[in-house]
């Protein structure tokens, strides 16, 4: 059996098992696998020993039909096990759930990508914990497992030794965060650069940007939103946004509401909250300073905006990210 090692890295190879079921999603597996593999390039002798495992071993077909060769999880020991998402029904198989329980009982750290959270929830590993999954199936996860505190608008969440991530590419964000915890920010940053992905979206960040959520079809409305995003610290009355869109105020207000489903003032508030959220999670600036930097006239206005959009104040978001 491999010797279990709890990171931070101290020169001992860290054993990582990536658990898949029938119908697994290829990118859910490839993202974390590629990130851990690339991290080995930046540590002399390597840091991670990677094994793709399943309940019974052998060939396991993914949702695309492409088969992956696996080893049985039995008689193996891991420091980290990542449960890969895919079709939900195979993740709820009693044998698979029993395997997850057995693995979790002897593993230092447990994680899931996308719908892999259904397997962790079925094994009781998420009871009383915060967790996330792909936004599309988050309501289903909450309905079937009411003891889980599902947060559908998060890229990844760390709650004790249990980590969960949103869908598909969010598995890369999760892996980068695990690599950072193990090997430091420098290695994680190098891995992100090699993978040509951002370093790094914070776990508490929304699965969607505010710009993407509004999704206007009109080029003029997109111009106005881009202008607002680039000038958040300044006053942004509707007259100024209309000018950026090259529309009359009346026409702009009507088209904006039709295209985005909300008023220009609410959209600007959403952009400011998003910008503030990133600063809250990625730094230690005083909240008063952040409020001013993103265009809120005072911290109380920012607090009320956070409560409206996130149901929690800025301080809670900062605490969660830490």
> What pLDDT, in 10s, does the model give residues 131-141?
999 988 998 99
Residue 201 covered by a domain: no
* Domain match, 248 and 187 both: no
pLDDT at 279: 84
What is the C-alpha to C-alpha distance for residues 53 and 8, in angstroms, rounded to an integer?
24
Residue 146 covered by a domain: yes
Read off the pLDDT of each residue in 102-121 and give the average, rounded to a whole number: 97
pLDDT at 4: 36
Read off the pLDDT of each residue in 147-160 and give the average, rounded to a whole number: 89
Domain boundary among 137, 169, 195: 195
**168 pLDDT tier (thresholds 50, 70, 90):** confident
Domain boundary among 135, 162, 195: 195
- The gap between the terminal CA atoms of the chain, to the nearest Å, is 34
- Rounded to the nearest integer, the mean pLDDT of the chain is 89
Read off the pLDDT of each residue in 268-295 and give the average, rounded to a whole number: 88
* Domain match, 187 and 216 both: no
CATH number of the domain residue 18 falls in: 3.40.50.880
Residues 244-273 have pLDDT tens digits of 999 999 999 999 999 988 899 999 999 999
* Domain match, 116 and 232 both: no
Residue 204 covered by a domain: no
pLDDT at 211: 60
Q: Percentage of the chain surpassing pLDDT 70?
A: 90
* Domain match, 234 and 115 both: no
Residue 278 covered by a domain: yes
> Whole domain around residue 183: which residue ranges?
14-195
Q: Count the Cβ atoms, other than its own, within 10 Å of residue 155.
A: 21
115 or 311: whose pLDDT is higher?
115
* Domain match, 179 and 259 both: no
Residue 203 covered by a domain: no
* Domain match, 92 and 221 both: no
3-state SS class at 24: strand
DSSP letter, residue 294? T
H or E element in which residue 53 lies: strand 48-54
* Domain match, 132 and 236 both: no
Residues 201-249 have pLDDT tens digits of 554 445 555 665 677 888 899 899 989 988 999 999 999 999 999 999 9
Residues 30-85 have pLDDT tens digits of 999 999 999 999 999 899 999 999 999 999 999 999 999 999 999 899 999 999 99
pTM over 0.95: no
* Overall number of domains in the chain: 2
H or E element in which residue 103 lies: helix 94-105
9, pLDDT greater than 50: no
Domain boundary among 139, 166, 195: 195
Residue 72 covered by a domain: yes
**277 pLDDT tier (thresholds 50, 70, 90):** confident
Residue 7 covered by a domain: no
* Domain match, 30 and 174 both: yes
pLDDT at 14: 95
* Domain match, 232 and 124 both: no
* Domain match, 252 and 185 both: no
What is the C-alpha to C-alpha distance for residues 240 and 259, in angstroms, rounded to an integer?
18
User: Which residue bears the tokens 């929690």?
Assistant: 312
What is the C-alpha to C-alpha distance for residues 103 and 92, in angstroms, rounded to an integer?
16
175, pLDDT greater than 80: yes
* Domain match, 103 and 228 both: no
CATH number of the domain residue 259 falls in: 1.10.10.60
pLDDT at 208: 53
Backbone angles phi, psi at 83, to 5 degrees: -90, 115
* Domain match, 47 and 169 both: yes
112 closest CA partner among 185, 9, 29: 29
Q: Count the Cβ atoms, other than its own, within 10 Å of residue 197.
A: 16
Given the DSSP bridges, would you call strands 130-131 and 109-113 parallel, antiparallel or unpaired?
A: unpaired
Residue 39 covered by a domain: yes
pLDDT at 92: 96
Read off the pLDDT of each residue in 9-14 and give the average, rounded to a whole number: 68
Read off the pLDDT of each residue in 14-22 and give the average, rounded to a whole number: 97
Encoded tokens for 85: 């998402």
């Amino acid at each position: 059996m491999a010797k279990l090692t709890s990171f931070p890295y101290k020169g001992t190879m860290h054993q990582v098992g990536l658990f898949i079921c029938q119908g697994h999603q290829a990118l859910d597996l490839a993202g974390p696998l590629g990130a851990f593999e690339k991290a080995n390039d930046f540590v002399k002798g390597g840091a991670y020993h990677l094994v793709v495992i399943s309940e019974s071993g052998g060939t396991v077909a993914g949702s695309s039909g492409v088969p992956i060769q696996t080893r049985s999880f039995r008689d193996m020991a891991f420091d980290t096990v990542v449960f890969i998402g895919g079709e939900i029904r195979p993740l709820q198989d009693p044998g698979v759930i029993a395997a997850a329980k057995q693995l979790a009982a002897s593993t230092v750290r447990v994680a899931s990508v996308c719908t892999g959270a259904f397997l962790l929830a079925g094994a009781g590993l998420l009871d009383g914990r915060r967790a996330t999954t792909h936004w599309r199936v988050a309501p289903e996860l909450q309905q079937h497992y009411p003891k889980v505190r599902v947060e559908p608008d998060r890229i990844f969440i760390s709650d004790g030794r249990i980590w969960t991530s949103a869908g598909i590419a969010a598995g890369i964000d999760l892996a980068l965060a695990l690599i950072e915890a193990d090997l430091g920010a420098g290695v994680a940053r190098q891995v992100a650069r090699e993978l040509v992905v951002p370093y790094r979206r914070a776990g508490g960040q929304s699965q969607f940007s505010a710009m993407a959520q509004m999704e206007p079809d009109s080029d003029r409305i997109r111009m106005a939103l881009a202008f607002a995003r680039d000038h958040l610290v300044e006053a942004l009355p509707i007259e100024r946004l209309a000018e950026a869109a090259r529309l009359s105020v009346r026409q702009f207000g009507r088209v904006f509401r039709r295209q985005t489903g909300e008023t220009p003032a609410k959209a600007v508030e959403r952009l400011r909250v998003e910008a503030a959220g990133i600063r809250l999670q990625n730094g230690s600036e005083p909240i008063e300073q952040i409020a001013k930097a993103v265009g809120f006239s005072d911290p109380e206005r920012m607090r009320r905006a956070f409560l409206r959009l996130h149901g929690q104040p800025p301080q809670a978001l900062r605490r969660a990210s830490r």
